[in-house]
């Protein structure tokens, strides 16, 4: 495998790793990234980059204007940690009880800062501008939406993002046009029936029986309404009902999640859920209320932006290093950017060299990455900007 780390990045290796470890040991949850944002703003100012703070609550935006005019390309990093207690014993482990960078966003920040430093030094060759987006609250609260509301995409023509990815080994970049991360919705179903004696079911509406029919019928959305060459998931995670063995339950509550890779399937799932709930309610005489809450939209990579990402990746990790990404049904709020402007999101392999595949998954309490991957990520960003704007 021939990996070509950019020489400017090679020189910054110690600094990049030190930044990542500093942020790793001081993790902050979504919309509380005060220390992280201050560190970022201070560095960007030091590099001579125009800085805006408190964008999307705690976000930071840097704008690097080149010597000549041209398009504006955005590069995005997320800054938030997770409510997880770190269990590993590395010397840079979290110093905050119950909070941890268990998804690698510390690495995203360090990478984008390194790219900003190198690109700022090459300002004279840049025809156009580079916007550096450091966003809060990716893990659930959708910080990207708040950044967009505050104008972070104004004037931006294309956006790129990356995720360090422990489902792929060090040295590869997973790239694919089209859907790469799922839409994630959550639902609550409340069944109201009529309770009674377990020995005299006539006249009752049994919420346990109605809820059971629902669980079964909802699975047909995946097995009978989804094109078999596409993917959807409908999972009922909780089913609560009843109080005693000889009492017919008057009520039941079901909670679940629905995932899909396309906007069409997302809409289809919502429509079919409503139809099934209505139909079963009518059939058994139960009053059923469906409460469906949309999560992040699917992340769909633009063809042309992805072609550019692929070209840059080829120059860093070579032919055999560019792979089809390891896909999951997880969601990403990068989708809010890339549904507005052409965008591409890639997956940079970061599984530590001696680790078994799947042994250090994202969000686990012993999460860590192969830090050499940070050099690949930063080199990728610089190559991308050089190819497009220099």
Exposure on the CB side of residue 153, measured as CA atoms within 13 A: 19
Q: Is 222 in the site for Zn ion (CB under 5 A)?
A: no
Subset of residues 242 to 301 that bind Zn ion, contact rule: CB under 5 A: none
Angle in degrees, CA 263, 265, 266, rounded to 5: 60
Nearer to Zn ion, 23 or 49 (CB): 23
The least CB distance from residue 290 to Zn ion, in Å, is: 28
The least CB distance from residue 311 to Zn ion, in Å, is: 25
As to burial, measured by CB atoms within 10 angstroms (0-12 exposed, 13-18 middle, 19+ buried), residue 93 is middle
User: Binding segment for Zn ion among 102-110, 189-197, 198-206, 349-357 (CB under 5 A)?
Assistant: 102-110
Subset of residues 20 to 39 that bind Zn ion, contact rule: CB under 5 A: none
- The CA distance from 56 to 43, in Å, is 19
Q: Which of 345, 360, 367 is nearest to 296 (CA)?
A: 345
Whose CB is nearest to Zn ion?
Answer: 103
Per annotation, catalytic residue among 28, 33, 78, 80 = 80
- Per DSSP, the three-state class of 29 is coil
Return all residues near 369 (Cβ < 8 A) that are at least 6 apart: 104, 107, 164, 166, 350, 351, 352
Catalytic, 139? Answer: no
The least CB distance from residue 363 to Zn ion, in Å, is: 6
Per annotation, catalytic residue among 28, 86, 106, 138 = 138
The least CB distance from residue 185 to Zn ion, in Å, is: 17
Q: Is 103 in the site for Zn ion (CB under 5 A)?
A: yes
- The CA distance from 358 to 354, in Å, is 12
Q: Is 61 in the site for Zn ion (CB under 5 A)?
A: no
Nearer to Zn ion, 232 or 350 (CB): 350
Catalytic, 80? Answer: yes
Positions touching Zn ion (CB under 5 A) are 103
Catalytic residues: 80, 138
């Amino acid at each position: 495998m021939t990996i070509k780390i950019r020489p400017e990045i090679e020189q910054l290796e110690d600094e990049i790793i030190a930044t990542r470890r500093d942020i790793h040991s001081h993790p902050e949850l979504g919309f509380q990234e005060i220390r992280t944002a201050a560190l970022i703003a201070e560095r960007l100012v030091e590099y001579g980059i125009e800085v805006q703070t408190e964008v999307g609550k705690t976000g930071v935006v840097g704008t690097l204007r080149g010597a000549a005019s041209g398009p504006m390309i955005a590069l995005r990093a997320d800054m938030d940690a997770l409510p997880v207690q770190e269990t590993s014993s590395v010397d840079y482990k979290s110093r905050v009880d119950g909070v941890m960078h268990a998804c690698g966003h510390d690495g995203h920040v360090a990478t984008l800062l390194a790219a900003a430093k190198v690109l700022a030094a090459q300002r004279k060759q840049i025809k156009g501008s580079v916007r550096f987006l450091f966003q809060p609250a990716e893990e659930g609260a959708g910080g990207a939406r708040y950044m967009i509301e505050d104008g972070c995409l104004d004037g931006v023509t294309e956006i790129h993002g990356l995720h360090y990815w422990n489902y792929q080994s060090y040295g590869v970049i997973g790239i694919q046009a089209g859907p790469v991360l799922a839409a994630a919705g959550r639902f609550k179903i409340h069944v109201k029936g009529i309770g009674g004696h377990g020995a005299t079911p006539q006249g009752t509406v049994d919420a346990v029986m109605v809820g059971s029919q629902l669980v079964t019928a909802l699975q047909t959305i995946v097995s009978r309404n989804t094109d078999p060459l596409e993917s959807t998931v409908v999972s009922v995670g909780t089913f609560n009902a009843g109080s005693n063995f000889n009492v017919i339950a008057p009520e039941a509550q079901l909670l679940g999640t629905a995932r899909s890779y396309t906007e069409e399937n997302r809409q289809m799932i919502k429509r079919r859920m409503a139809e099934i709930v209505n139909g079963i309610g009518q059939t058994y005489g139960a009053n059923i209320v469906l409460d469906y809450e949309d999560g992040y939209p699917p992340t769909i990579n633009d063809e042309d932006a992805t072609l550019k990402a692929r070209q840059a990746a080829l120059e860093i990790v070579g032919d055999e290093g560019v792979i089809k990404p390891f896909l999951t049904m997880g969601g990403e709020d990068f989708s809010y950017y890339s549904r507005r402007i052409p965008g591409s999101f890639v997956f940079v392999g970061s599984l530590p060299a001696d680790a078994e595949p799947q042994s250090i998954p994202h969000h686990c309490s012993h999460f860590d990455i192969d830090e050499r991957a940070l050099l690949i990520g930063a080199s990728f960003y610089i190559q991308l900007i050089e190819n497009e704007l220099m």
